[in-house]
Amino acid sequence: MNKPAMPNSFRTGPDEQGMFGIFGGRFVAETLMPLILDLEEQWNKAKNDPEFKAELQNLSTHYAGRPSKLYFAEGLTKHLGGAKVYFKREDLNHTGSHKINNCLGQILLAKRMGKKRIIAETGAGQHGVASATVAARFGYPCVVYMGATDVARQSPNVFRMKLLGAEVRPVTAGHGTLKDAMNEALRDWVTNVEDTYYLIGTAAGPHPYPELVRDFQAVIGTEARAQILEQEGRLPDVIIAAVGGGSNAIGLFHPFLDDKDVRIIGIEAGGRGLDGVEHCASMNAGKPGVLHGNRTYLLQNADGQILDGHSISAGLDYPGVGPEHSWLRDSGRVQYEPILDDEALEAFQLTTRVEGIIPALESAHAIAHAMKIVPKMDKDQIVIVNLSGRGDKDVHTVANMLGMEI
Ligand SMILES: *Cc1c(COP(=O)(O)O)cnc(C)c1O
């Protein structure tokens, strides 16, 4: 094993080239380079500007509903009979998940940069809806690229985006899913460099996106850390989050990375098992490669072709993962575990019954892992699970899986 050297801090990355160890970077067309450098420069200015911070804070509070609560899940804790389980309630945010945190930050950046048009990619449509939402709020035209296959199977979100005034452009290339939509969005960006802002939906893509999305989502971990200190007088023993591209997870994890006694666990979609190709566990079953402008763990076949993957949960259905996670994996600071479709489905039903909270299927993956480890822990130990979103969007999928019609 060639493990990278242990850094003094896990919170200092990326370096100036956008690298987290051997991961990350900016592998983009020449024509995009000036834009990406401009974005980086503007972001570096914005993040230290009190006016920018105040505007984001104001919107986070009054529009998105932050801070989100840290809730003691007493019903689930009793049921599992081990450590105390807390939920970080990102499901309570406007638009129903953590995605609004990133979209509010980036729309303010677009405004600051004087851009006139927003583009975004989306898979299940959750990021498309959040992007269309902030575009509506700020009066920008918005184009959302969405794989044609996804357009067909996510019609309620397509309609929401249209209601919000966005144009949804179906992408027929490849298998017509998220990977293809992101390629198309990058292509649009190259063509419309002058006036367009590309609002990426997760902590992936070329530098500086993984860093800036992380910084906008780190509000999750910053709040959770202060809230648990206030409510329990100490840090948690374990924190858990589901990893699609990795934005809600890195948002929770980052403020805890240098707390050596906090065990950090990221959950990948194990789908129907890691033996075949019907999963999205890029870090447990993939190999490093380059996709969407950065080097990271990817699902690939023997020829290095990117696979589509599968998950019961559309939000975890991305063949790659943000580069910072790849680095945290190899350095051993964060442990990444797969959860199967069936296990997530069980966690979804249990949480609904004992907590009266319908979790997103993505979040149910994180809860499913808590269900495995919490019963073996002591009653005075503490586990925080990131409840990245609400599950209203998933009731059709769940009914289907349970063989019911609604
Ligand atoms: C999109 C989404 C995810 C996965 O995206 P990340 O960037 O990995 O956070 C997880 N949970 C919910 C509720 C989502 O909508």
Count the neighbouring beta carbons within 10 Å of the beta carbon of residue 48: 9
Residues acting as catalytic residues: 99, 121, 388
Peptide bond into 210 cis (omega under 30): no
* Domain coverage including residue 280: 67-96+218-401
If asked whether residues 174 and 305 sit together in one domain, one would say no
Question: 201 and 302 share a domain?
Answer: no
CA–CA gap between residue 348 and residue 335 (Å, rounded): 23
User: Is residue 358, in this structure, part of any structural domain at all?
Assistant: yes
DSSP 355-375: HS--B-HHHHHHHHHHHHHGG
Residue 322 beta carbon below 6 angstroms from any ligand 1 atom: no
Q: pLDDT 10s per residue in the chain (406 long)?
A: 455 566 789 999 999 999 999 999 999 989 899 999 999 999 999 999 999 999 999 999 999 999 999 999 999 999 999 999 999 999 999 999 999 999 999 999 999 999 999 999 999 899 999 999 999 999 999 999 999 988 988 899 999 999 999 999 999 998 888 999 999 999 999 999 889 999 999 999 999 999 999 999 999 999 999 999 999 999 999 999 999 999 999 999 999 999 999 999 999 999 999 999 999 999 999 999 999 999 999 999 999 999 988 999 988 989 999 999 999 999 999 999 999 999 999 999 999 999 999 999 999 999 999 999 999 999 999 999 999 999 999 999 999 999 998 8
Number of folded domains in the chain? 2
User: Do residues 156 and 78 share a domain?
Assistant: no
In this structure, is residue 1 part of a structural domain? no
Q: At what angle do helices 99-112 and 209-217 cross, to 10 degrees?
A: 120
Prediction pTM value = 0.97
360 touches ligand 1 (CB under 6 Å) = yes
Domain limit, last residue, from 157, 178, 213 = 213
Q: Between vectors from CA 215 to CA 368 and to CA 5, what angle results, nearest 5°?
A: 80
Which CATH number do you get for residue 326? 3.40.50.1100
168 lies in the same domain as 42: yes
Nearest Cα residue to atom 7 of ligand 1: 247
Domain boundary residue, one of 190, 213, 236: 213
Domain match, 244 and 194 both:
no
In this structure, is residue 140 part of a structural domain? yes
Name the residue at shortest CA distance from atom 14 of ligand 1: 315
Q: How far is the CA of 30 from the centre of ligand 1 (A)?
A: 30
Is residue 4 one of the residues assigned to a domain? no
